[in-house]
Amino acid sequence: MAPRNCALCKNAKAIIKRPKTGQQTCKECFFLVFETEVHNTITSARLFKPGDRVAIGASGGKDSTVLAYVMKVLNERYNYGLDLFLLSIDEGITGYRDDSLETVKQNQRDYGIPLKILSYDELYGWTMDAVVSQVGRKNNCTFCGVFRRQALDRGAAMLNVDHIVTGHNADDIAETVLMNIMRGDIARLGRCTSICTQGEDTIKRSKPFKYAYEKEIVMYAYFKSLLYFSTECIYSPDAYRGHARAFLKDLEAARPSAVIDIIHSGEAFQVREEVKATQKAQQTCTRCGYMSSNVLCKACTLLEGLERGIADAGISDRGRRKLEAAGPSPDDMRTIPLFFMPSSVSTTPSLAASSSQPSLPGDASNSAGAFASHPP
C-alpha cells in the first residue's frame, strides 16, 4: 500500500501514526500538534504568570528532556515571559544517576538554561546507595520518593522560583490512579489527577504533560534527535508501580484511549465530606519546617530511623513504636536544614486560555480536536 499523505497538511507523506489518536501525520505536523496540545494544556489550566521563575525537574530521562525542550520552545513562541531553570536531584545511585546527570549537563549547554544540582548527600547526609545498604530493596522507593519530593522543593527555594514543572505524563497519572484504587488510598486518589498542586507551605507544582502519551513523548524525542538517558533505576524493578504499569499497557493495547479514560475517571472521583473530615490537617514539621500531617514530617522520621539504626521507623507501626521506645533523639544526630519558602511571589494574572492559538496546515477540521482550547 502506498504511503498516505499527512492528515493535516495534505502534502508531505505521513510517517507517524499517533498512538493517542491514530492520526497519520508527517514529522513536522506531529511536532506542531504535540507542542500545541501542551500549550493548550498550559493556557487552559492557567499554569503560569508572566515573570514567573520556573524550575524544570530534570532527571535526564525522556520526559524531563522533552519537557525542557518544549518549555523553551513555547516560552519563546508564545512570549510566556518565564525565567526557566533546570533543577536536578542527585540521589546518589552509582552507575545510574551519575550517568544521567551528564545528560542533564549536556541539555543545559544545548538549551542554554541555568542548572542547579542538589544531592541527597548534601541535604540528608545519606545517598540512596547508603540507604539501600541499610534497608535493603523492599522499601527503598519509599525513602527515595519522600526525600526526592522535599529535595525538589528545597532546590526550588534555593533558586527562588515560583513554580516547579515535572515531566509526569498521561501514563504516569493513569498508573497513579490505578495504584491508589488498588491500595484504597482515598487521600491521594482525591488529588492525584490535579494538574497543579500548591499548599501554603509548598511551592506550586504542575504537570504540563498531563495529557501527553508516553509513546508520543518518546517519538518526539526520537524525531527531534534529543539527547536523553534511557536506563531504568537499578533499585526500581520491584517497585509497586510496575504492576500498575503492566496492567495499563495491557489495557492500552486493547483500547488506546484507556490512558485518558482512566485520567478522566480519576478527575470525576469526589471524596465525601465525612471522609475528608477524618483526614489529618496539614501543619509544619517541628524539626525542619516542611509541610507535614504529623509533628514530624515523613522525611525527618525516615532520616531519624536511618540515623538510629531503626530503618522501618517511618514505614511500619512496629518501627514507629521501636523509635518511640528508643527515647529522645541524640543531640548530635543529623537533621534536615530548616525549610524556607522562596521570597519571590508573583501576583500578575495567569496566562489565559484565550491566548492566541496557532492554525494547522490545511483544514483544521481534520485535527480530531487536537487544537481545542481545552485539554485533549
- The reply to whether 332 sits in an annotated binding site is no
- The reply to whether 352 sits in an annotated binding site is no
Q: Give me the residues paired with residue 163 across strands.
A: 54, 204
DSSP assignments along 30-82, one per residue: HHHHHHHHHHHHHHHTT---TT-EEEEE--SSHHHHHHHHHHHHHHHHTT---
d(C-alpha 278, C-alpha 195), whole Å: 25
Look at the block and give the residue holding cell 518565564. 82
323: which residues sit within 8 A by CB, 6+ positions away? 301, 304, 305, 308, 310, 313
- The reply to whether 58 sits in an annotated binding site is yes
SS (H, E, C) 230-243: CCCCCCCCCCCHHH
- The reply to whether 63 sits in an annotated binding site is yes
- The reply to whether 90 sits in an annotated binding site is no
- The reply to whether 173 sits in an annotated binding site is no
- The reply to whether 155 sits in an annotated binding site is no
89 φ, ψ to 5°? -110, 125
DSSP assignments along 113-133, one per residue: --EEEEEHHHHHS--HHHHHH
Q: Is 204 helix (H, G, I), strand (E, B) or coil?
A: strand
CA dist list (Å): 280 to 38, 187, 196, 230, 292:
35, 10, 21, 39, 9
Q: Which residues are annotated as a binding site?
A: 57-59, 63, 89, 167, 172
Q: Which residues are annotated as a binding site for ATP?
A: 57-59, 63, 89, 167, 172
